[in-house]
Amino acid sequence: MTKYSFKENFFSTSTTAIDIYDEHNQAVFSLKLYYASTAQKTFAWLGKKKHNFEITDGQDIFRVRQERSVSGKIKTPFKTVWEVEKNNEAIGTFRTKIGFKPKMIFEGVQGDALTFQSGFISRSVNVTNDQNQTLMTTKSERFKIASRHDIDIQSDIYNPAMLLLLFQVFYEFQEYQRS
């Protein structure tokens, strides 16, 4: 099991990189918000809805990008889709799933799937694979302007940078839905 932690930027629409620390307090990843268009930036400033993120360890770059549609998957008010890339190559999609509890599904190009889910009120997130094995758990501070996140990754099946990136998208989307 590997532990990571980070604290979000004070200004929610900031594109300043955030360092993610391992259990030895070493900065091992850099996460940042980016905008694919002026419209996204404007909506972020007006509504604080964050769309796209990227993370790097200095070698690989993982990105998520929200578009109007991704490979024929139409975005609706109830269904949002992000394209997930590693070093500019598509590795899957990340989409919302309607339910009582906040839930999102990562579908990899290899046919694998990960489920990100939190409680109805809780900000903690549980990530499971197709076999319902827990791969990652998180705990986030509540009622803070710049939230702190503590993350435990219990498997090395997936690159931790990708899991951390998808967690950030999930967390931001559920916060937007709750506001």
Positive or negative CA dihedral for 129, 133, 134, 135?
Answer: negative
Rounded mean pLDDT, 3-18 = 83
**How much is the pLDDT for 78?**
53
User: Considering the chain, what is the average pLDDT of its residues?
Assistant: 85
Say what percent of the chain tops pLDDT 90: 55
Average pLDDT over residues 66-89: 70
Q: What is the pLDDT of residues 147-160, one digit of tens each?
A: 889 999 999 999 99
**CB neighbour list of residue 154: distance below 8 Å, 6 or more residues apart:** 1, 134, 135, 136, 137
40-47 mean pLDDT: 68
Domains annotated on the chain, with CATH: 2-178 (2.40.160)
Confidence band, pLDDT 50/70/90 cuts, at residue 69: very low
Q: For residue range 85-139, list pLDDT tens digits in order.
A: 999 999 999 998 877 788 999 999 999 999 999 977 777 899 999 999 999 999 9
Q: What is the pTM of this model?
A: 0.88
